[in-house]
Amino acid sequence: MDSISRHEQLLRVFHLIDILFSARQPLTTAELKERLQGRGVIDDLSEKSIRRDVEFLGRFGYAVKESKKRSPRGVNVQAWAIHPGRGAEELTPPPITLPELLSLAVAREFLAPLAGTVYWRGIEQVIKKLESVATEQLLEYVAEHQEGLVVHPRQAARYRSRTLTAIHRAIRNGQELRVRYQGLADDKPRRITIRPEALVLYDGAAYIAAYRAAPATAAERKRRRPGDDAIRFFKLDRVADATVTSRTFVRGPTPVAELLADSITIYRSTDPPRPYRIRVDAERARWAVEKPFHPRQKVRRQADGGVILEIERAWDGEMLPQILALGEMVEVLEPADVRERIAATAATIAARYAGRPRRSALPKSG
């Protein structure tokens, strides 16, 4: 048997152990085959091969008991069961299965941006505990099958553990957080106090979903900006430091996940969201449906293969970049003022490309 065939057999054996331990009654060859197919372990396999795999378990020391069971056709056929705690080595059910360990290993990849934090350390500790009781063959299979799922782009850890620990503590205990934050429009970091609701991982970056704390002084009330009462998303890359204060707060009435349900990004505006109707040509219709363009869009398919997307609630600031990205393949039907803005933008782009490329001024020498 070559190495690939041996690996395939070991994978089946790992699943057979899990299936037989969890079964309440003996299972026939046909039933074992059906359950292996249901787990995506095999496409097809002869009953002879499955019987050989069961015999393989017996050689490993598992207390495999063979019996007879009546098939749906009324014929007595072979059936097998594993008895935990019986046999020469008093074996018990495996503490971890391949799918479980593989899922944790992949989850660790998604948490890579938070490496070194309490979130990362938690899953690392769980995996190490399970690896201490897993067999060598199981660990080899996890390493091989993990290559079948690629997280791209793979994010390196870029957040300070101390900062993330402070944020986690403030969220958990409902305490206000004092941060030095430099927004895109800020020349330098400024100190603000926020009420953090959750950490949000979006598009490879971490954000603090938070409300601005109530102003404590007249000077702070004067510096209050429009929209400061609404939830905001502070990009963690722009947080210079964070300190937990002694002041506590009551969480907002709406969970952050629910607030994001109407959004394709984490964009927020002081203006209310409004309805959109967008026509997408046939060349990009499938993409617009699969992506989807908006999580709560309604799709009206057209005779020419295009689609009309009806979106009940969306913000201009998050819709316009999506629309412009599709170029001539998309047309905004409503709102009318957005049509005018798209037309003006298109005219500006066309004018820029009408002549020769503009040359940037070279720096003066000496």
Question: Using CA atoms, how far apart are residues 69 and 76, in angstroms rounded to an integer?
Answer: 5
Neighbours of 14 (CB within 10 A): 19
Q: How far apart are CA 209 and CA 199, in angstroms?
A: 6
Average pLDDT score over the chain:
82
Would you kindly state where each structural domain of the chain is located, as residue ranges? 3-82, 98-146, 161-258, 269-353
- Most confident region among 72-81, 142-151, 271-280, 353-362 by mean pLDDT: 271-280
Distance CA 169, CA 186 (A): 27
Average pLDDT of the segment spanning 341-345? 95
Q: What percent of the chain has pLDDT over 70?
A: 82
Q: What's the fold here for domain 3-82? A: Arc Repressor Mutant, subunit A (1.10.10)
Which residues on neighbouring strands pair with residue 206, listed in sequence order? 201
Mean pLDDT of 317-326: 90
Measured distance CA(4)–CA(17) in Å, rounded: 20
Placement of tokens 């002081």 in the chain: 270
Topology classification of domain 269-353: Alpha-Beta Plaits (3.30.70)
Q: Tell which wins on pLDDT, 40 or 322.
A: 322
In whole angstroms, what is the distance from residue 261 CA to residue 120 CA?
26
pTM as predicted: 0.65
Does the pLDDT at position 366 exceed 60? no
* Reported confidence tier of residue 363, pLDDT bands at 50, 70, 90: low
Question: Is the pLDDT reported for residue 346 higher than 90?
Answer: yes
Comparing C-alpha atoms, which of 192, 208, 211 is closest to residue 200?
208
| For residues 295-315, average pLDDT | 93
Is residue 190 pLDDT above 60, yes or no?
Answer: yes
Confidence band of 221 (pLDDT split at 50, 70, 90): low
Contact 146, 106 (CB under 8 A): yes
Q: Where are the alpha helices (DSSP H) in the chain?
A: 3-22, 29-38, 47-59, 98-110, 118-133, 136-146, 161-173, 218-222, 256-259, 282-290, 316-325, 336-354
pLDDT, tens digit (0-9, with 9 covering 90-100), for 13-72: 778 888 888 888 899 988 988 888 887 777 777 888 888 888 877 766 677 888 888 888
Give which of 217, 212, 284 is closest to 249, Cα–Cα. Answer: 212
> What pLDDT shows up at residue 178?
96
Q: Is the pLDDT of residue 207 over 90?
A: yes
The residue that leads in pLDDT, 344 or 80, is: 344
> Beta partners for 181?
190, 239
User: What values do phi and psi take at 66, rounded to 5?
Assistant: -100, 140
Alpha-carbon torsion (340, 344, 347, 349), positive or negative: negative
